[in-house]
Amino acid sequence: MTDSTKPVQDVVVVGAGFAGMYMLYRLRSAGFSTIVFEAGSGVGGTWYWNRYPGARCDVESLEYSYSFSEELQQEWEWTERYPAQPEILRYANHVADRFELRKDIHFETRVVAASFDERSSRWLVRTEPGGELWARFLVMATGCLSSANTPTIDGMDGFVGEIAHTGRWPRDGIDFCGKRVGVVGTGSSGVQAIPVIAEQAAELVVFQRTPNYSIPAQNGPLDLELEREVKAHYPEFRAANRRMHGALGSRFRYGQTSALAASDEEVQRDLDERWQIGGFAFIAGYNDFLRSREANAKAAEFVRRRIREIVRDPAVAELLCPKQVIGCKRLCLDTHYFETFNRPNVRLVDVSEHPIERLTSRGLVTGGREYELDVIVFATGFDAMTGSLTRIDIRGRGGIRLRDEWSGGPRTYLGLGVVGFPNLFTITGPGSPSVLANMIVAIEQHVDWITDCLVYLRRGGYASIEATVEAQDAWVEHVNAIADTTLYPTCNSWYLGANVPGKPRVFMPLIGFPPYVEKCN
Ligand code: N01
């Protein structure tokens, strides 16, 4: 029963990243009393925590930004083709100031539990530092990649040097000058950090378990002519991107034919041009790179050839050549990643056969050998898509726990709602395009949907909303059926939860933004 001594809000939003900020803006404009809780001391979410050297968005600046305010998108000036973390964080702060969002955000306040009271149809939300309040609706804007995954390794407490995770980077940074540094992990974070750390450190040892495909970002100062052109037609540009499979990249050509129908020379020419252009469109020249192993092999072999051309030591080049299907783990974009392995101060250590055994006070042991280090950087990723939700003790009808309900993998309707958890919304939750789309576009679509839904409930005088079992079951089946038409499920990616020991292997995001939007309408 609702305790009348505790405050009641219309909505509590968890997280003040790009999702939480826009959710607050929309709810406030629609007249809902709203409080946002944020564990960090500032806005920005993923861009607040991921301050590692080289951190940069892989989506172009002109696209990785809010579209809801014409004034905002006209006045903000990006400096590079892809925005670096400090610039994105400045942008997030600018948005918070411009729309006066901070007054409803409680910083350094972590939501640790939320339970649904069936009699009042309200959520009791508990925070640390200690506090409780009631909310009619609870919106999780906790991000898809925000629960850091640090491996448990014997001896971690005894290492006398510094340890950092890329996703929880110290605010004051780390001075690598003159130091012996180890980086564990070669996903997007490692691929971005390694070239920058290599320039500063005395020695850098990269511990690689799986080599990754990486395409040159071809980053540089923002093309002012392009900026003028985009700003002159921003709404049309945004609309064109929303029609794209991944809600981005409309200014590039996306091929509609099979790579198997083209000659090898044609395919190579196309890949070569796209390698020069840089970015994710590399793999978009043909429509079956992620559907046919034979087609995929053409793009994969192209990248392996480039690696062998770039890396001078043939043994190192071979170690860097990925063997899995290209694109089924998230494609990386880089600035001089493979070139970095030509530096005399950089060494690559393969830990695929001999996992990291332990840390000692002086360093890291693998393959029976100790590597002495002053700093160890874990670029080991995240408990993606579910971790930031299941680490909160969320209890729905009859006290059921989200963590238990999802013990066999996440189950949602539209990635927005969960059976047994009325009045709970998950922005870019599992089962929605989220990480397979431009995140900001996916966020805006979800936030708009949730706002419309709450306005509808208010207008109709409804106290609660919940997905039905049938709708959720059908949705989970739909997400899996789409994934099974592609090569995505064929390798050990975080999309499948395969990076976290013991996590059920379930393909979590929905492939394809435009058909998803249609289903939501
Ligand atoms: O994490 P990852 P990430 N011993 O999971 C290795 C987004 N992002 O932080 O592949 C040794 O991709 C692991 O090896 P393996 C983007 O969506 C975006 O790099 O599991 N190694 C892998 O090499 C991205 O995909 C941007 O065999 C271990 C690495 O650590 C997502 O975040 C920038 C290990 C983890 O790679 C996650 O990227 C950065 C162990 N015990 C991130 N455990 C931009 O937009 C794990 N690994 C730019």
Confidence at residue 298, expressed as pLDDT on a 0 to 100 scale: 98
Going by alpha carbons, the residue nearest to atom 35 of ligand 1 is: 380
d(CA 127, CA 260): 55
d(CA 202, CA 195): 13
pTM above 0.85, yes or no: yes
User: DSSP class of residue 411?
Assistant: -
pLDDT digits (tens, 9 = 90+) for 224-277: 999 999 999 999 999 999 999 999 999 999 999 999 999 999 999 999 999 999
User: DSSP class of residue 399?
Assistant: G
Residues with CB under 6 A from ligand 1: 56-58, 145, 151, 166, 184-190, 192, 207, 209-210, 330, 351, 356, 379-382, 435, 494, 499
What atom of ligand 1 comes closest to residue 167's alpha carbon?
9
pLDDT digits (tens, 9 = 90+) for 281-318: 999 999 999 999 999 999 999 999 999 999 999 999 99
Mean pLDDT (whole number) for 161-186 = 97
Q: Which residues pair with 117 in a beta bridge?
A: 122
CB 95 within 8 A of CB 21: yes
Positive or negative torsion for Cα 99, 46, 8, 131 = negative
Q: How far is the CA of 210 from the centre of ligand 1 (A)?
A: 10
> Is pLDDT above 90 for 409?
yes
Question: What are the two backbone dihedrals, phi and then psi, of residue 222, each rounded to the nearest 5 degrees?
Answer: -60, 135
pLDDT digits (tens, 9 = 90+) for 346-378: 999 999 999 999 999 999 999 999 999 999 999
Q: How far is the CA of 184 from the centre of ligand 1 (A)?
A: 9
Mean pLDDT (whole number) for 166-176 = 97
d(CA 49, CA 521): 34
Q: How far is the CA of 381 from the centre of ligand 1 (A)?
A: 4
d(CA 498, CA 506): 9
Q: How far is the CA of 213 from the centre of ligand 1 (A)?
A: 12
d(CA 446, CA 519): 12
Q: Which residues pair with 313 in a beta bridge?
A: none
> Is pLDDT above 90 for 6?
no
CB neighbour list of residue 97: distance below 8 Å, 6 or more residues apart? none
CA angle, 101 then 48 then 208, to 5°: 155
- Report the chain's mean pLDDT, rounded to a whole number: 97
Positive or negative torsion for Cα 188, 173, 209, 178 = positive
Residue to substitute in 80, 354, 499 for testing ligand 1 pocket (most ligand atoms within 8 angstroms of CB): 499
